Amino acid sequence: MIITCPYCGPRDSSEFVYREEGGRTRPDPASTDQAEWNAYVYDRLNPAGDHDEIWQHAGGCRSHLRIMRNTLTHGISSVALARDHGRPHERRSRETQA
């Protein structure tokens, strides 16, 4: 699989590390809602199709990238710097993804 880093250009996926599902919202650190924390820590979408992901170009410029990847074909439809989409944990809540 080839990932096109905005800074480095096309590179083999072995240079990248998957970090997390994109668009997750971390609960308020002061929250004691156990169900909310369990959902944040353990629940994943695991779609068969397009998946919003955060990858890091660990073997290159070390940038965090937000990638839309099809989990069936490994086709990548978009790559952007994650910082252009806000901090990973401050984007959208899991409720909006359902």
- Which residues of the shown chain bind Zn ion in the complex (CB under 5 A)? 5, 7-8, 57, 60-61
Nearer Cβ to Zn ion (27/60):
60
Nearer Cβ to Zn ion (15/50):
15
- The least distance separating Zn ion from the CB of residue 61, rounded to whole angstroms, comes to 3
- Of 14, 1, 12, 23, nearest to 80 by C-alpha is 23
Q: Taken in order 25, 30, 32, 33, is the CA torsion positive or negative?
A: negative
Nearer Cβ to Zn ion (8/68):
8
- Of 15, 7, 21, 6, nearest to 69 by C-alpha is 21
- The least distance separating Zn ion from the CB of residue 63, rounded to whole angstroms, comes to 5
